[in-house]
Structure 1
Amino acid sequence: MDKFTTLTGVAAPMPLINVDTDMIIPKQFLKTIKRSGLGINLFDEMRYDDDGNEIPDFVLNKPQYRDAEILVAGDNFGCGSSREHAPWAIKDFGIRCVIAPSFADIFYNNCFKNGILPIALPQKAVDVLMKDAEKGANARMTVDLEAQTVTTSDGESFAFEIDSFKKHCLIEGLDDIGLTMEKASAIDAFESKAAMERPWV
């Protein structure tokens, strides 16, 4: 998993509340078990018309937001079913950080396991960040995970809270497998000892 330390990039404004996981990645794209290739279908039903053509007014189709790495969203982002494909699609598109007043619990936790930083901030702070994001590609936000701050293009900064363990995993780029591999030597030692003490197993 890619490490997350500091990110400076374009933020896309999506002031919608209750964006559920089916809106993030519709059910017809859940057949794959690969984490790559889903970015093109992120927000598929909002990005494309029935003929597969881009809808120009959708934020991620606008030239200034095509390379967005931060998403500023509305309340209760990621609600609905628990599909892990939702953070897969977000990450594959290139977004590494989602900022909203609140998140659905399962989506929130899945983000950390996939190298995405979800930041919950008070509505007033999100309103300021949303307005900054609306400035387009020339307005670049900075997310500093170590300092736990989000800074607007004008230099206004907001502190956010994060669980220390989740912070550690993101900074070190550790998913569940990576966390297990940190204990590889201890696991090997245990198995060697067990094989000597119980050779019949």
Structure 2
Amino acid sequence: MDAVIQQFFNVDVMLQAAPLLLQGLWMTAKLCLAVIGLGLVGGLLIALASLSPRRWLRLPAIVYVDIFRAMPPLVLLVFIYSGLPFAGLDVAPFTAVMLAFLLNNSSYYGEVYRAGIQSVPAGQWEAARATGLSGVQTLGSVVLPQAIRNVLPDLLSNTIEVVKLTSLASVVSLAELLYAANMARSITYNASPLVAAALIYLVFLWPLVRLVSRYQRPLAI
């Protein structure tokens, strides 16, 4: 038992690794803000395109969603970071992660938005237009607030998955939390930094998980 504690729950090693872990946490926070923001905006654009009556907008959006929902994000990330240089396009690790996550996450966010928009009764559109609102004003002031409220648990669940997937950035040597923990492990020859990183993820994500459960419970009644 003592050997397990020393190898996985060594407080002294965790404290030694703390500066490196904090640097990784800061990079993870910046990465999350970037990829979640881009995913939310990109997903809304994809949802609107997939609902458009214009075939030249709707069909490419549907194909986009199908392709990038089916493609594993790790494969996409490795392709952008390691494959594009063969075409003469060198991509920095942070940029590669943002591009890969934008393509992947916007397809999932897009489907969530689409379901939310379609859940708003058509009468809401008609009533808003009857008051003199334009199509854009109706969408922004009447439809989207209701749509987002209807699918908020799904948006939050997807956001939690995005935060967890940022750990894939360690594959392209981006110094986020998992990469920093692995570096600390290699320096200390101890797995405690990895356990500390897992605890950090737990502390930050557990409130979001509880928030999702709080919103899902009334919907299940």
Task: Decide which structure has greater strand share.
Answer: 1
Q: Identify the structure with bigger relative contact order (alpha carbons < 8 Å, sequence gap 6+).
A: 2
Give the alignment's TM-score, normalised by structure 1: 0.26
Give the alignment's TM-score, normalised by structure 2: 0.25
Task: Decide which structure has greater helix share.
Answer: 2
